[in-house]
Chain A
Amino acid sequence: MGTTLAEKVWEAHLVRRAEGEPDLLYIDLHLVHEVTSPQAFDGLRLAGRPLRRPDLHLATEDHNVPTDLLADAGTADIADPVSRVQVETLRRNCAEFGVRLHPMGDAGQGIVHVIGPQLGVTQPGMTIVCGDSHTSTHGAFGALAFGIGTSEVEHVMATQTLPLVRPKTMAVTVEGSLPPGTTPKDLVLALIAQVGTGGGQGHVVEYRGQAFEEMSMEGRMTVCNMSIEWGARAGMVAPDDTTFAYLQGRPEAPQGDDWDAAVASWRTLRTDDDAAFDKEVVLDATTITPFVTWGTNPAQGVPLGDVVPDPQSLPAGGERDAAERALTYMGLTAGTPLREVAVDTVFLGSCTNARMEDLRAAADVLRGRRVADGVRAIVVPGSMLVKLQAEQEGLDRVFTDAGFDWRNAGCSMCLGMNPDTLAPGERSASTSNRNFEGRQGRGGRTHLVSPPVAAATAVTGRLTAPADLPPVQTGA
């Protein structure tokens, strides 16, 4: 019987297999940021262990970084002393252990999951880890990529391997094409609503079918990014010509003869026709519409055209209790049309949706339109290179003319570790990945949306799809 893509990548990284023990897997790339690494570097120092392969680690500063400073600001400009120490600690650690770092103020700085693909250092068939659950993003290239804790970060630093129990495999097959006006974000939100936050637990997922074959690399990254939001260990898409075209010519991609050898190898990274998955989920892309969350976990979502669901319609027990708690926290009443929910803030950013296509899709909605009075709208490019490219395309002017704040790269309002936060009770439409209680700031209320929906929502001040907007008046 044949093997799946995930199994092929797993077997190709097997350092050691012994009966009754976890497999020992080689790790091709470890991405590092300031939040989950300091205790791991300390661990190396305490044990007197070297960093085994400094050439396979790449670091950046993202979670704590203020996004409203001058582009060349330094750590001294971080007002929060605790954040400042964390960023400075990363710099000291990278200098001491010889790790390449893209710090604040560097043209290569950005969200860790945006800069890897952008540099071309994320490649098919690799094993990639990072102390960050959204490492699943890199699976879009057919890499086996997953988030790890700080103890495992230290393990990778010391040994360039991880002992791992082989996960189960799952296929998510999406037939048909995504309709115009919908995005990969809508698709993944609809998927998570169907399978629940724990639906992928213990599985590496392969996304396949026509919708993924037609999807851009950036769209595939959005979907793989949110694999963790339904509990999957990792998400993958088999590499194809779309993947190779994206990679070719990037700074860290193979060149010349190496490129040919790499592509020949990458073309073998496919699930065999006779391979079996442990589990399969099938979706019809043609039924997808703009999707939003109403609750406090990413599975609590509905089509934007629906109403806030009634917890009483759910089976008694944990799920109903969670829905009731979520409505209380979110300040919502069952039966309210989502289109009537007013927001205070619109956040366009994060490792889920802050790449070029996301910015272009939002800008397309905003041309000739204005952010509604009283709405705070910010756009935070995923990296400084995304920011630069967007400026070359004139997108910054589209955003600022509409009334958006145009920021520097960072995790920003995806999580409350930097100055971009929601105030208690404040409500956002956010292109990020988590609507957990307090995720965007204590007491903040988050609705997860796609970039076009975020832009349209900024224009009306209520959750809105672009198709709901009146046409732009031209020639005036």
Chain B
Amino acid sequence: MDPFTTHTGTAAALRRNDVDTDQIIPSDWLKRVQRTGFGEGLFSEWRQDPSFVLNRVQGASVLLAGEDFGTGSSREHAVWALTDFGFRAVVSPRFGDIFRSNSLKGGLLPVQLPSDVVAALMDLVEADPAAPVTVDLGAREVRAEGIAASFELDDFTRWRLMEGLDDIGLTLRHEAEISAFEQQRPAFLPHV
């Protein structure tokens, strides 16, 4: 995984609540067995509408979204579609748990900020689509003209993202503990 330290880019404001992962990447796209090429499917139904934000705003790398972004299906394809399209971070007042977890594995930073801050960021980028937005993981802060807001992320995840470390590799360092645990599992547990 590529390290994430700080990112500055333009942003797109998706003013919708309850954006489920079926909207981010419709299920027809899930038949593919590769991990790449999902950008074309990103919001593919909504992009049929010329007035949809991603048809009006080009080149954005930060997505500003309404409350409860990424609810529903566990499909990590939603993260792959967003990153393949060029997004590095999504900002929302609240995320679906599985989407948030998938993002943290896939190099897309989910940034949770209060509703009023997200609204202010949306107002800013709608007034000036070229306004730069900075997501600073080191400082755990989002900055834009007239706005500086800190966000929460646990130290371990932050360190892992900033170093670009592979989660599986980190866990395999604890192989001895995993093996020890396996020795004392109850005998009645199923083996298929």
Contact = CB atoms under 8 A, between A and B. Distances in A.
B27, B35, B106, B190: which has the most chain A beta carbons within 10 Å? B190
Interface in B134-192: 154-157, 167-168, 170-172, 174, 177-178, 181-182, 185-192
B186 A265 contact: yes
B71 A198 contact: yes
Nearest to A228: B72
Given A149-B74, A198-B67, A16 B177 contact: yes
B28 A21 contact: no
A415 interface: yes
B68 to A, nearest CB: 4
Given A49-B168, A155-B167, A228-B72, A133 B98 contact: yes
A393 to B, nearest CB: 28
B96 A149 contact: no
A83 interface: yes
A89 B33 contact: yes
B38 to A, nearest CB: 11
B98 A147 contact: yes
Interface of B: 15-18, 20, 22-23, 26-28, 30-35, 45, 66-68, 71-77, 79, 94-98, 101-102, 105-106, 154-157, 167-168, 170-172, 174, 177-178, 181-182, 185-192
| Top-6 shortest CB links A-B | A149-B102, A149-B76, A151-B105, A318-B17, A38-B33, A147-B74
A20 B155 contact: yes
Contacts, number: 206
Contacts of B171: 24, 155, 158-159, 161, 163
A34 B165 CA distance: 28
18 contacts: A24-B174, A24-B178, A26-B178, A35-B31, A58-B192, A123-B189, A126-B189, A149-B76, A149-B105, A161-B171, A163-B171, A231-B96, A258-B188, A325-B16, A417-B30, A434-B72, A436-B72, A439-B22
A132 B74 contact: yes
B31 A80 contact: yes
Contacts of A325: 16
Given A39-B34, A148-B98, A442-B26, 17 more contacts: A15-B178, A22-B157, A29-B190, A131-B74, A133-B73, A135-B74, A146-B98, A148-B101, A149-B74, A150-B77, A198-B67, A198-B94, A201-B94, A201-B95, A228-B72, A252-B192, A254-B188
Contact of A321 (B16, B32, B34, B174): B16
A439 B71 CA distance: 13
A150 B103 CA distance: 11
A431 interface: no
B191 A55 contact: yes
A20 B27 contact: no
Interface in A118-161: 119-121, 123, 126, 131-133, 135, 146-152, 154-155, 158-161
A121 B97 contact: no
A123 B190 contact: yes
A415 B27 CA distance: 7
Contacts of B189: 28, 123, 126
Nearest to B28: A416
A318 B19 CA distance: 11
A9 interface: no
Q: Which one of A57, A58, A120, A322 has the highest number of Cβ atoms from chain B below 10 Å of its Cβ? A: A322
